[in-house]
Amino acid sequence: MKMKHMKPYTTMKTVLSTLAITLAFGPLHNAQACTRILYETGNQSYISGGSMDWADPSAATALWVFPKGMKRDGTVGDNPIKWSAKYGSIIVSFYDAGTADGMNEKGLVANMLYLKEAKWGDATKAGKPTLTAGAWAQYFLDNYATVEEAVTAMANPPFTIIAPSLPNGDAAALHLSISDVNGDSAIFEYIDGKLVIHHGSQYKVMTNSPTFDQQLALNTYWQQIGGSKFLPGTINAADRFVRASYALSASPKYRDNDLALASVFSQIRAVSVPLGITDPDRPNLAMTLWRTFADHTAKIYYFESAVFPAVSWLDMSKVDLTEGAAPKVVRVERGQPLAGELSAALKPAEPFKWLGAE
């Protein structure tokens, strides 16, 4: 049926059929908030934007500067993987238990989002070193300069992931996106114990459930309707994927970097969930706690808290990422609003322990 000549307000039948298609592709009760986009400027540079939507506003959050050369291990299991960071990074920690988001000195960006369908597999059967889910994003930031390099390495992953429960008791069910200075992108999902990788610059949007292949199919349906005529408006992940995809495709590619950055800010704000919103029938839907934006070329990492009236950022040219430098942190706390460039506010600190550490 051709939809392009139909006006969505002319008949209730159109609305009902649209809802039926949406439900067929993914149950709404499986939704969990968080959104990520990758925007191309008019200068062929790239800006990533993302939101962290979570039901626990007390979740400890902090901005960290990790220098290269840091000694790491996978924390969990009898044979945790060990490595030394090849690259320094700026990251956001969550619950003082893991890296949720960040960018390394080469402009590689990692975003971890909730995915209810994630099934990591049985680590005892894989015969590989183990890695806590809390360090999954950090492993990429520490070790890879480009998406291509990371995807090649993950063709035969050097680890098996173990996912202990989060400090609030929720399951660490996650998927991961990465993007780089060239505009390359990849989505990593563990489905039924196997790693599925979607690799290509066309993968510019990610939300949550259902799995990424189903999100793409759903978005194809809505593209046939046309976003200027009708878009799904709920806060569930499938609807946010469609709205974010439309906004990204319809937005101009600004050559002015300030306008380009403002465009990404506006797009992520447009799919954010207002503070305090909850749904007792769908408890996984949650308010937006914070947003991040990464300029891959300028190497500037922006942070916006939902409870602060200003934007803050860290400029990589103003922080010490050299081997032997001290890890530093600035905490996101009520009553201590963050604003502007934060390098002077960073304090030396002992790094947090990964999820699952005893």
Which residues belong to the active site? 34
CA 157 to chain centroid: 21
Which amino acid is located at 61 in the chain? Answer: T
Instruction: Convert 271-283 to b/e letters by CB count within 10 Å (16 or more is b).
Output: bbbeeeeebeebe
Which amino acid is located at 195 in the chain? Answer: L
**DSSP letter string, 60-77:** -EEEEEE-TT-EEE--SS
Query: Distances from the Cα of 244 to the Cαs of 49, 228, 312, in angstroms?
Result: 11, 13, 23
Query: Distances from the Cα of 256 to the Cαs of 36, 48, 241, 252, in angstroms?
Result: 22, 16, 26, 11
Q: Which of 234, 212, 203 is nearest to 18 (CA)?
A: 234
**Beta-ladder partners of 103:** 90, 109
Task: Yes or no: say if 219 and 206 are a contact pair by the CB < 8 Å rule.
Answer: no
- 318: enclosing H helix or E strand: none
Q: Which of 349, 317, 324, 328 is nearest to 107 (CA)?
A: 317
DSSP-derived pairing of the beta strands 185-191 and 174-179: antiparallel
DSSP 335: T
